[in-house]
Structure 1
Amino acid sequence: MLYGIVAAATALLLAALLAALLRAPALRLRVLDRRRQGEVPLSGGVVAVLGLVDDVWRLRRRVLVAGTAVAAACVAPYGETGIGGGLLAAGWVVGVTFAFRGLDHADGLAGSAGVLTAFGVAACAAVEVMDGIAVLMSVLAAALTGFLLRDWHPARAALGACGSMSAGFVLAAGAVYTRAGFGVGESAGVLFALTAVVCADAVLVLLSRRLGGRAVLRSGPDHLAHRLRWLGLTVPGATVLLGAGAFSGVLVGVLAHAGWVGGDALWWVAGLALVAVFALSRVPVYADRRTVSPQARAPLRVRSG
C-alpha cells in the first residue's frame, strides 16, 4: 500500500516537472500541435517511441495501426481467454488506443478521461486482488494528473500521439487483463463503461464522417468537444461536462465489475451514450467555414483530429 502511494506521488511530481522542462526543447525543435491556434508543444509520454515518431514526422495511419496491433497482439491474455478471446482483446486495445488519441483534441480532455479511467481500472484490479495492475493504474492516473497541470486550458503542453497513445494502450491493456476470464458479453459492457466517453467520441466521428461522405481518417472539427463548443460551451466547460460523463461511466463499470449493480446499469450507460452521440451528430460541423461568421467559427477553437 505504502509502495503504491509513494510511486503515485513520485509519478505525479515527475510528470508535472518533466512537462514543464520539456516545453522549451519541444518549442525549439518545433514538435508542436499543428491542429490548433497557438504553439503548444507535444511533450507528453516521451517513452512511447511510435507516438513520438508520429509527432515529429507524421507517420501514415496504417503504420501506426500496424505497430499498435503488433504490440497489442503481444500483450493479449491468451492464457485466460484463448486465442479467439485474445484476438478480440487485442482488437479492443488497438481501438481504445486510437480512440484515446482522437480524444486529445481539446485542452485537458484526454488527460481528464485518462485519470478517471485509470482510477476505475485500478479499482477493478483491486477487487480482483491484482496488486500489480492496481499500482500501475494508480501511477498512470497520478502521472496524467501531473501533466494536466500543463495541459489544462489554456494548455502549455499537449499529450500528442506520444502521450495519448501510450496512455490509451496501457489503460486498455490493464482493463482487458482485469476482465480476463469473465464472460465476453458482460466484459464488453464493463469495458465500454470504463471508456464510455472515449468510445462515444470514436463512434460519433466514424459515423458522421461516413454519413457525410468524408474519409474516415481525414481530420476535422467533428469530435464531442467541437460540437459542444458549437453549442456555446467554453473549452473548460466542455471538458468538465465530458469528464462528468466519463466519471459516471467509470463508476457504473466499477460497480458492475464488483457485482454491486446488475447488467441493466451497463445497458443504461450504452443507451445514454448512444443518445448523446445521436443528439450531437445533429450539430452541423462540416459547413463551409468561409460562409460562416467569425462569431460562429469561434467555438471551433480547439484541436481537430
Structure 2
Amino acid sequence: MLYGIAAATAALLLAAVLTALIRAPALRAGIVDRRRHRQRPVPVLGGLAVVAVTCLVAWAGQWTRVAPLGGGIAKLLAAAAAVAVLGLVADVWRLRARVLVAATAVAAACVVPYDETGVLGGVLAVGWIVLSVLAFRGLDHADGLAGTVGVITAFGAGACAAVEVLDGLAVLLSVFAAALTGFLMHNWHPARIGLGACGSLFTGFLLSSSVVLTRAGYGIGSSVAVVFCLGAVAFADAVLVVLVRLLGRRPLLRRGPDHLTHRLRRLGLTPQGSVVLLGAGSFSSVLVGVLVHTGWMGEWAVLWVAGGVVAAVLVLLRVPVPRSARVASTQVRGALRVRNG
C-alpha cells in the first residue's frame, strides 16, 4: 500500500518534469501537430514521457521485488511499450494506419490469456484491444481529453484488478494514472504539448489489455458489459466519427472536425467545458462498469450506459458542420497532397 502511494507520487512528479523537458527539443525537431484550431504548433512527444516514467517506475518495483508485476503483467507492459515505440515512429516519420493496426493486433495476440478466455473469447479480446487503441488515438484530437479519460479509466480498471487480487496490475495502473496526470499538467487547454501517437497508442493498449486480463475467466456476455462501460466515451466518439464520415462519404482514417468535442463546442461549450463534460460521462460509465464487475449492480445496468451513448451520438449527429470547417478540411487535404508529392 505504502509503496503504491510512493510509486504513484514519484510517477506524477517525474512525468510532469520530463514532459516539460521534452517540449523544447520536440519543437526544435519540428515534431509538432499543426491543427486547424491552433494558433501555434504544439509538440506531440508528451506521450514519450508517460511511457518512459510508467515503465521506469514499474521496472523499479519489479527489480527491487518490492512490487513484482508477475509474468503476465510484465509481458503486457512490454507489449504496450513496443506499441508505444511504433507510435513514436509514427509521430516522427509517420506510418500508414494499416501498419499500426496490424502491429497492434500482433501485440494484442501476444498478451491475451487464451487458456482462460478460450479461442472465441481470445479473438474477441484481440479485436477489442485493437478497436480501443484506435478509439484512444481518436480522443487525442482535443486538449486534455485523452489524458482525462485515460486517468479515469485507469482508476476503474485498477479497482477491478484489485478486486481480483491482481496486485501487480493494480500498482501498474495506479503508476500509469499518476504519470498521465503529470502529463495533463501541460496538456490542459491551451496545451503546451500533446500526447501523440506514442502516448495514445500506449494508453489504449495498456488499458484495454488490463481489462482483458481482469475479466479473463468470466463469461463473454458479462465481460462485454464491463468492457463497454469502461470504454464508453471512446466508443461513443469512434461511433460518431464513423457514422459522420460514412454518411459524408469521407475516408474513415483522415482527420476532420467531427469528434465529440468539436460538436459540443458548436453547441456553445468551451474547450475546457467539453472535456469536463466528457470526463464526467466517463466517470459515470466507468463507475457502472466497476460496480457490475464487483457484483454490486447487475449486467442490466449496461443498458443505461448504452442508452446514454446512443442518445449522445444521435443528438450530436444532428449538429451541423459549418461550411468553413468543410472548406478548411478540403484545404488541408490539398496541402497534404502537395507536400507528399
After TM superposition, is the score higher than 0.5? yes
Offset, 1:290: 7.3
Offset, 1:215: 1.4
Distance verdict in 2 for CA 1:41–1:265, change over 3 Å: same
Query: Could you list the per-position Cα deviations for residues 234-288 of structure 1 after superposition, in whole angstroms to 9, with x for gaps in the alignment?
Result: 1000000000000000110001100001112111101111110111011112635
- Identity, in percent, stands at 66
Give runs of aligned pairs for residues 93-108 of structure 1, distance below 5 A.
93-108=129-144
Give 2:119's match in structure 1, choosing from 63, 74, 83. 83
Gaps of 5+ in 2: 52-83, 329-341
> Who is 2:16 aligned against?
16
Give 2:183's match in structure 1, choosing from 144, 147, 156. 147
Q: Distance in 2 between matches of 1:107 and 1:92?
A: 25
Q: Distance in 1 between matches of 2:198 and 2:322?
A: 28
Q: Distance in 1 between matches of 2:267 and 2:322?
A: 15
Give 1:132's match in structure 2, choosing from 168, 184, 197. 168
Give runs of aligned pairs for residues 58-69 of structure 1, distance below 5 A.
58-69=94-105
The alignment partner of 1:82 has SS state of: helix
When the two structures are superposed, what TM-score results if normalisation uses the length of structure 1?
Answer: 0.93
Query: More displaced, 32-41 or 90-99?
Result: 32-41
Give runs of aligned pairs for residues 1-305 of structure 1, distance below 5 A.
1-36=1-36, 37=38, 38-46=40-48, 47=51, 48-285=84-321, 287-289=323-325
Contact 2:260–2:316 (8 Å) recurs in 1 = yes
Give the partner amino acid of 2:14.
L
Contact 2:23–2:46 (8 Å) recurs in 1 = no
Offset, 1:52: 0.6
Q: Distance in 2 between matches of 1:102 and 1:163?
A: 12
Q: Distance in 2 between matches of 1:156 and 1:100?
A: 20
More helix by share: 2
Offset, 1:175: 0.7
Offset, 1:2: 1.4
Offset, 1:71: 0.7
Q: Distance in 1 between matches of 2:205 and 2:246?
A: 26
The alignment partner of 1:214 has SS state of: coil
When the two structures are superposed, what TM-score results if normalisation uses the length of structure 2?
Answer: 0.83
> Who is 1:296 aligned against?
none
Distance verdict in 2 for CA 1:286–1:80, change over 3 Å: farther
Give the partner amino acid of 1:198.
A
Q: Distance in 2 between matches of 1:236 and 1:286?
A: 21
Gaps of 5+ in 1: 293-305
Offset, 1:60: 0.7
> Who is 1:295 aligned against?
none
Offset, 1:73: 0.9
Query: Could you list the per-position Cα deviations for residues 84-107 of structure 1 after superposition, in whole angstroms to 9, with x for gaps in the alignment?
Result: 211110110110011001001111
The alignment partner of 1:45 has SS state of: helix
> Who is 2:70 aligned against?
none
Give the partner amino acid of 1:35.
R
Q: Distance in 2 between matches of 1:223 and 1:290?
A: 14
Count residues in correspondence: 292
> Who is 1:301 aligned against?
none
> Who is 2:79 aligned against?
none
Q: Distance in 1 between matches of 2:123 and 2:11?
A: 32
Give the partner amino acid of 2:43.
P
Contact 2:257–2:325 (8 Å) recurs in 1 = no
